[in-house]
Amino acid sequence: MSDQLNVTPTRPYLARAIYEWICDNQLTPYLLVDATQQHTDVPQQFVKDGQIVLNLAPHAIHQFHMDNDAISFSARFGGVAKDIYVPIRAVLGLYARENGQGLFFDPSEYGDIQETIETPIEDKKQEAEPNKKKPSLRILD
């Protein structure tokens, strides 16, 4: 048996559990993100020291999706809607605003793991759209 097992990181599983726990306790989930990670799409004007804190309260975001690869949602920043995409490797912590309880992750956890994310979902949509034919309507006599 080999010394190193090929197991997936625990970060996405723990992040989902902590998010659910925070919401179940009617607290406000905050996401701490390393905005310097590749494919991270967050509003750059709010990034400080390479990091950003995002409010994940269900009433503050739309189209929330969290899986083993990324967290994505839509939110308003300064009144302007923005689609957010955070690869799981860029998640540094998930905690409750009210009491600071939550989990913070080791930034080097993904250091030895090859990135499997090709491009964010929105990029894939944009790449596919130019190949689509526009619908046309023709009036017949």
Per-residue pLDDT tens digits for 33-68: 999 999 999 999 999 999 999 999 999 999 999 999
Give the pLDDT band of residue 1 (cuts 50, 70, 90): very low
Q: Residue 6 above 50 pLDDT?
A: yes
> What is the DSSP secondary structure assignment for residue 41, as one 8-state letter?
B
Residue with the larger pLDDT of the pair 4 and 78:
78
**Per-residue model confidence (pLDDT) at position 40:** 96
For the chain, what are the domain ranges? 8-100
Can you tell me the mean pLDDT for 64-85?
A: 95
**Which of helix, strand or coil describes residue 99?**
coil
Predicted local confidence at residue 4, as pLDDT: 60
pLDDT averaged over the chain? Answer: 84
CATH 2.60.40.2470 fits 8-100, yes or no: no
Q: Say if residue 137's pLDDT is above 60.
A: no
Least confident segment among 1-15, 62-76, 93-107: 1-15
- Would you mind telling me the total number of residues written for the chain in this entry? 141
Q: Which ranges of 25-133 does DSSP label H, i.e. alpha helix?
A: 121-128
CA dihedral 41, 43, 49, 51 (to 10 degrees): -50
Mean pLDDT of 65-89: 95
pLDDT at res. 2: 47
User: 71 or 133, which is more confident?
Assistant: 71
Contact 60, 123 (CB under 8 A): no
Tokens found for residue 95: 């905690």
pLDDT tier for residue 7 given thresholds of 50, 70 and 90:
confident
State both tokens at 48.
Answer: 């400080």
